[in-house]
Structure 1
Amino acid sequence: MKEIRTQDAVGQVLCHDVTQIIRGAVKGPRFRKGHIIREEDVPVLLSLGKDHVFVWENDDTVLHEDEAAEILRQLCQNEYMTASAPKEGKIELTAAVDGVFQVDASRFDAVNALDDITIATLPQNMPVKAGQKLAGMRVIPLVIKKDKMAQVRQAAGAEPLLRLRPYLRNIKTGVVTTGTEVFQGRIADTFTPVLAEKLRAFGLSITEHRLSDDNVEHTRRQIEELLALGMDMVLCTGGMSVDPDDRTPAAIKAAGADIITYGAPTLPGAMFLLGYVSRGDKEIPIMGLPGCVMYAGRTIFDLILPRVLTGEKLTRQEIRHFGIGGLCMNCEVCHYPVCGFHH
């Protein structure tokens, strides 16, 4: 940083804010630090009493904050993201499509652990809409050493730190509603309309629907029929608790599913089941949905469904990690996913 005459400062980069005060009208920065001084700025600066200004003293060992922000952008930005132009040393990334936002947490934390580096994002695995802001990044000082940014590159590694998984299109969904009382028409099926509404939020619908009584073999046959019809996802409702006559988990397993988890550390949704059935080169998700999905505003199904719709295959470890944040607060006005549920 060096002090020079304002008349000699054209083309130089301000190292400090310049405040303008007009009584009763204006009080605030007229020029921000990082501003590149133009010819027309000189008389304005002089009128503000700035006969001298402090400007960035460029050398080969440092980078301007805008240049450093551009490096952070390169390390973060991935497919389906758009970037803003640098403004006051900050760049923002925005979603170009609907999907699920994800962060490589270990590498991301390693970058943010370095002094003077700041990258802030939306929560992990958050469903987002096109046009939604995903992340912002900047360095703290006006100028930063090049060797510090070299450390940032090394900590970040070769792959982008961020990812936006777009939703797959034209997913065929099969639903098996279990329960002898529904199968025999003693009560109405009030679960399936809830699933239809949740799928509609993603532009999807129920492709095939089957009813089954509580017999394991009957439910198994219905699941296998849906798989044979080429369903990309199968949802099973009813019979998911630990009562002796709740046999849907056994039927899902009998249909050949590799059970990832039966039970999850979320409330509502503790009795959730997720499995996958291999068909050729496809891994088809099968979910056993507990009764809370029918009546609770948000449950584990809302956490799992967006990720499944991107084609992601979830692991047992990931689901077991849901416990921190897995308690829904049942707010009077639901703002999910802009809330702490699971995030």
Structure 2
Amino acid sequence: MTQATLQITIPVEQAVGMVLPHDITEIVKDSFKGRAFKKGHIIRLEDIDHLRRLGKEHIYVLQLGPDDIHENEAALRMAEALTGTGVEYSPEIIEGKATITATVDGLLKINREALLQFNLLGEVMCATLQDNTPVSKGEQVAATRLIPLMAQRQMVTEAVARATSGMPVIQVLPLAKVRAGLVITGSEVFYGRIQDRFEQVLREKLARLGSTVTSVGFAPDDPALIAAEIRTCLEHGAQLIVTSGGMSVDPDDVTRLGIKEAGAEAMVYGTPVLPGAMFLVGRIGTVPVLGVPACGMFHKITVLDLVLPRILTGESIGREELAAMGHGGLCRNCTHCQYPVCSFGKT
């Protein structure tokens, strides 16, 4: 941006009849933040006092050169470059910002390295929600803008190039709607010593993500019988297996042995997430298998809530992915849970 571009200003009282070159924001503590005057507004005599209350003693007279770009055009170009599948940007620029929203319910995916390189340019910015945040259709997931009113066009071209150099910076991946098989383990439940509470918890979690439970099996603490129930679920067409309980260090906790006996491969046991340290993930053929420890019945949100949406987008979860969850993997156990509007699971 050349200094000559913005050097022309005039006192606000001489600006009647002029066209505003940008939105002017008004902030009233605890009650309002928004546009007091919209870009393109023709200044009237009655606007002068209002502008002065907003601290505006001078108004810019813009003279754009061939190498300059205005904030509105820049925001539109950058928003287009940043958006991938499952998101869209609004053509209306408000206060210099282009907002990006989800077009589907799903899981937000952010190309964090590309976002970093974009923001390192300094005169441009893009702010997003965290990677792997569950979002709803219509929810704002990001916003971008030029920080000065105008900049060199080449700088915005470089920002666009950085945003489009690889995987899209911002995407929302829809969740597959699968048929799930549940295997409830534990001799205390199998023999009727206590009432099972796990099935309903798991049904509700799957239903919130658009999936259904099509088969439920019960097995005592016996690896062979647990494996048999898993195979039965698979025979009934399960596209996802979720087992409950039997994942700790007690001698009777043999669920993971049953999962292995059922033919599971690529098994990873243990996560740096609380609640959910004794979680297991693996697969039988192409069917993901999740072993949920008993904490999943007590705590409203656990590692299952972090992993399950990613599994439903088709992502493969292994040791590296689980290890990365340690940063942000401690739940605060708030009295009134607001997940996912919290730090849990946000790396």
Q: TM-score range by the shorter chain?
A: 0.7 to 0.9
Aligned to 2:283: 276
Aligned to 1:74: 80
Give aligned-pair identity as a percent: 36
- Classify 1:182/1:168 alpha carbon distance in 2 versus 1 (closer, same or farther; 3 Å): same
- The answer to whether 1:334 aligns with 2:337 is yes
Cα offset, 1:205, TM superposition = 3.1
Aligned to 1:23: none
Cα offset, 1:100, TM superposition = 0.7
| Paired residue type of 1:341 | F
Aligned to 2:172: 164
Q: 1:6, 1:45 within 8 Å by CA — same for their partners in 2?
A: no
| Alpha-carbon distance in structure 1 between the residues aligned to 2:293 and 2:35 | 57
Aligned with residue 305 of structure 1, among 300, 303, 308: 308
Instruction: Give matches, 1:2-81, under 5 Å.
Output: 2-3=8-9, 6=15, 9-10=18-19, 13=21, 17=24, 31=37, 35-38=39-42, 41-44=43-46, 53-81=59-87
Cα offset, 1:52, TM superposition = 8.0
Three-state SS of the structure 2 residue aligned to 1:78 is coil
User: Which sections of structure 2, spanning at least 5 residues, go unmatched?
Assistant: 1-5, 27-33
Deviation per residue, 1:131-187 (Å, 9 max, x gap): 211111111100011121122123221542111011223x10100111222222222
Cα offset, 1:247, TM superposition = 1.3
Three-state SS of the structure 1 residue aligned to 2:282 is strand
User: Which sections of structure 1, spanning at least 5 residues, go unmatched?
Assistant: 20-27
Cα offset, 1:260, TM superposition = 4.2
Three-state SS of the structure 1 residue aligned to 2:145 is strand
| Alpha-carbon distance in structure 1 between the residues aligned to 2:58 and 2:114 | 43
Q: TM-score, normalised by structure 1?
A: 0.86
Q: 1:176, 1:222 within 8 Å by CA — same for their partners in 2?
A: yes
Aligned to 1:102: 109
| Alpha-carbon distance in structure 1 between the residues aligned to 2:138 and 2:124 | 25
- Classify 1:216/1:73 alpha carbon distance in 2 versus 1 (closer, same or farther; 3 Å): same
Equivalent residue pairs, number: 324
Aligned to 2:29: none
- The answer to whether 1:252 aligns with 2:252 is no
Q: 2:248, 2:293 within 8 Å by CA — same for their partners in 1?
A: yes
Aligned to 1:22: none
| Alpha-carbon distance in structure 2 between the residues aligned to 1:260 and 1:60 | 59
Aligned to 2:31: none
| Alpha-carbon distance in structure 2 between the residues aligned to 1:192 and 1:60 | 65
| Alpha-carbon distance in structure 2 between the residues aligned to 1:18 and 1:234 | 53
Deviating beyond 3 angstroms after TM superposition, the runs of 4 or more aligned structure 1 residues are 3-10, 16-19, 28-32, 41-53
| Alpha-carbon distance in structure 1 between the residues aligned to 2:296 and 2:207 | 15
CA RMSD of aligned residues (A): 2.5
Q: 1:75, 1:159 within 8 Å by CA — same for their partners in 2?
A: no
Cα offset, 1:3, TM superposition = 4.0
Cα offset, 1:43, TM superposition = 4.7
| Paired residue type of 1:205 | T
| Alpha-carbon distance in structure 1 between the residues aligned to 2:237 and 2:219 | 19
| Alpha-carbon distance in structure 2 between the residues aligned to 1:137 and 1:175 | 43
Q: 1:101, 1:126 within 8 Å by CA — same for their partners in 2?
A: yes
Three-state SS of the structure 2 residue aligned to 1:144 is strand
Instruction: Give matches, 1:82-121, under 5 Å.
Output: 82-84=88-90, 85-121=92-128
| Alpha-carbon distance in structure 1 between the residues aligned to 2:327 and 2:345 | 7
Q: 1:217, 1:251 within 8 Å by CA — same for their partners in 2?
A: yes
| Alpha-carbon distance in structure 2 between the residues aligned to 1:37 and 1:247 | 71
Three-state SS of the structure 1 residue aligned to 2:69 is strand
Q: 1:63, 1:146 within 8 Å by CA — same for their partners in 2?
A: yes
| Alpha-carbon distance in structure 2 between the residues aligned to 1:52 and 1:182 | 76
Three-state SS of the structure 1 residue aligned to 2:331 is coil
Deviation per residue, 1:219-245 (Å, 9 max, x gap): 112112211222111011121112222
- The answer to whether 1:198 aligns with 2:195 is no
Cα offset, 1:46, TM superposition = 6.9
| Paired residue type of 1:69 | A
Cα offset, 1:119, TM superposition = 0.8
Aligned to 2:293: 290
Q: 1:121, 1:134 within 8 Å by CA — same for their partners in 2?
A: yes
- Classify 1:172/1:6 alpha carbon distance in 2 versus 1 (closer, same or farther; 3 Å): same
Q: 1:253, 1:259 within 8 Å by CA — same for their partners in 2?
A: no
Q: TM-score, normalised by structure 2?
A: 0.85
Cα offset, 1:116, TM superposition = 1.3
